[in-house]
Amino acid sequence: KAGVTQTPRYLIKTRGQQVTLSCSPISGHRSVSWYQQTPGQGLQFLFEYFSETQRNKGNFPGRFSGRQFSNSRSEMNVSTLELGDSALYLCASSFRPTRDRGNEQFFGPGTRLTVL
């Protein structure tokens, strides 16, 4: 079974631009979560999508948005980029977690975003 894939792997943008990152979950997984990873802050939860609906949201400004498509693929958009948005953006997928099934998240390789 193919793992979680993220595209592109690397991006360089300038301040004020916008960017769209893509995540394809493991086949059969319906939940996709996004995280921002920086050396100082570690992993911070951005949002989670399940069945095309945002189910949970972290403490990020409205410049960060996302969506999920009917095939469970998800995109994350960041508008009006700032220098502080430079980070590794990780996507993780899971089957709808239950106690019996466990609730393991499977992570993608990440997209490294650099804002100049």
Partner 1 sequence: AQTVTQSQPEMSVQEAETVTLSCTYDTSESDYYLFWYKQPPSRQMILVIRQEAYKQQNATENRFSVNFQKAAKSFSLKISDSQLGDAAMYFCAYRSSQFSGTYKYIFGTGTRLKVLA
Binding site for partner 1 (CB under 8 A): 3, 33, 35, 41-45, 48, 50, 55-56, 58, 90, 92, 97-99, 102-110
> How does strand 42-50 pair with strand 31-38?
antiparallel
| Minimum CB distance to partner 1, residue 109 (Å) | 5
Output 81 or 91, the one with its CB closest to partner 1: 91
| Minimum CB distance to partner 1, residue 40 (Å) | 8
Output 95 or 106, the one with its CB closest to partner 1: 106
| Structure tokens that stand for 17 in this block | 């631009």
| Minimum CB distance to partner 1, residue 52 (Å) | 13
Output 40 or 62, the one with its CB closest to partner 1: 40
Output 43 or 65, the one with its CB closest to partner 1: 43
Compute the CA torsion angle 74, 80, 86, 89 (nearest 10 deg): -10
Q: Where are the beta strands (DSSP E) in 1-116?
A: 5-7, 10-13, 19-24, 31-38, 42-50, 53-57, 64-68, 74-78, 87-94, 106-107, 111-115
